[in-house]
Amino acid sequence: LWTTSAFLGNRPAYPVDRSRLPEGVCNFLLARGGGGRVYNVPNPGGYLEWRLYPKYLIGMDMQTMLFSTRDLYAATVAFNDKTVLGHVLREYDPAYLLPNVSDKDFRGLLGEATRFAPVYFDDVLAVYADADKEPELVGRFRLEVLDHAGWQQLDFEAMEPARRAKAAAECRQLLEAYPEGLTANAIAAKIALAEDQPAAAALHADVIIRNFPDRFMGFALKGLAAFKQEDYQGALALQRRALERAMPAEREGVLRNVYACQVRLRRYGEAYETLLAVANPMRPTTAAKELFDLALTAIASGRQNKGRALLELARLKTPDSDQALLREIDGMAAVLPPGR
């Protein structure tokens, strides 16, 4: 059993992995939309056809032998090319456009004067509705704060309270159509953490863990909630479970969470090695504050010579405008015994 588990890795939820199905988008369109033509990226077209017909007619699925070369080309290219998209809009006149949720360029492709507005997204697709054909839908559900491809970069803690409240209201709209969704629950958890509501954040994290046990996000968010509640040991255990599931591009953020837990637990030697894994001192992009933190954990774990060298690098990297950090660096250097 253990050998099989090691071979298969972290398994998705039983009996179906829903992470690549546009469940929320279909729920939203069936409950809120008025029907009509949908122009979509082809890959999830089979699921869209199964869920949405006959209320909606989709643009294409992956049964490519049923479509002309021109139609296949248009469906593949339209979401990345303004000219092709323009032809599609004039010829097919869809009421809805469904790009990939990760498509960060699509909103810009439509331009400022577009009649299409984003009204929903789930873990797979986003929904843009034609404001001329669906004025009530757009008026009620238009997304103004949450961006389907950019929500990960939003700093909810630094956000103005009124804008964060608007983001929370938009997130509730996402959850209404798809309460089990990974993206919507992740956003809700992050907003709850920003509002110092770790218990609420943990509830949303639990939904992710239950429905997407093979993904890192639920464990990482629940670890952040535990950290806020000063359960640093529990937080560290959860972040390690997140690290087991993280893809290479996701590992750095989780490792920084692990580092923060280790510092709070005064496990400075482990903290030094963890931070070193993501903040190489010789890498030009490593910040002065990271060099200083490396120095502190090195000194606290008995590596005084390394700590002294890192303080020198931190001072060299720190601009004169950051006097606060310079004072910290000089203060720590002053209390160290002379180097050998």
Give the Cα separation of 96 and 117 in Å (integer): 9
> pLDDT exceeding 90 applies to what percent of the chain?
86
Length of the chain: 340
> pLDDT exceeding 70 applies to what percent of the chain?
94
DSSP state of 43: T
In the block, residue with structure tokens 């704060």: 145
Which helix (H) or strand (E) element contains residue 335?
A: helix 323-335
pLDDT in the model for residue 138 = 97
If we measure between CA atoms, which residue out of 15, 37, 18 comes closest to residue 178?
18
How do residues 259-314 score in pLDDT, each as one tens digit? 999 999 999 999 999 999 999 999 999 999 999 999 999 999 999 999 999 999 99
Query: What dihedral do alpha carbons 1, 244, 175, 55 form, nearest 10°?
Result: -60
| SS3 label, residue 159 | coil
> Picking from 72-86, 122-136, 223-237, which range would have the lowest pLDDT averaged per residue?
72-86
- Mean pLDDT calculated for residue range 170-193: 98
Give the Cα separation of 100 and 121 in Å (integer): 9
How do residues 59-94 score in pLDDT, each as one tens digit? 988 776 677 888 889 988 999 999 999 999 999 999
pLDDT in the model for residue 306 = 96
Amino acid at 130: D
- Mean pLDDT calculated for residue range 39-64: 91
pLDDT in the model for residue 14 = 56
**pLDDT(197) > 50:** yes
pLDDT in the model for residue 2 = 46
Give the Cα separation of 240 and 255 in Å (integer): 9
**pLDDT(28) > 50:** yes
Beta bridge partners, 38, equal 96
**pLDDT(5) > 70:** no
pLDDT in the model for residue 339 = 66
The pTM (predicted TM-score) of the whole model is 0.92
Contact 277, 243 (CB under 8 A): no
pLDDT in the model for residue 10 = 67
> Picking from 113-117, 217-221, 336-340, which range would have the lowest pLDDT averaged per residue?
336-340
How do residues 149-165 score in pLDDT, each as one tens digit? 999 999 999 999 999 99
Give the Cα separation of 194 and 192 in Å (integer): 5
Which helix (H) or strand (E) element contains residue 121?
A: strand 116-121
**pLDDT(4) > 80:** no
Give the Cα separation of 134 and 4 in Å (integer): 51
pLDDT band at residue 6 under the 50/70/90 scheme: very low
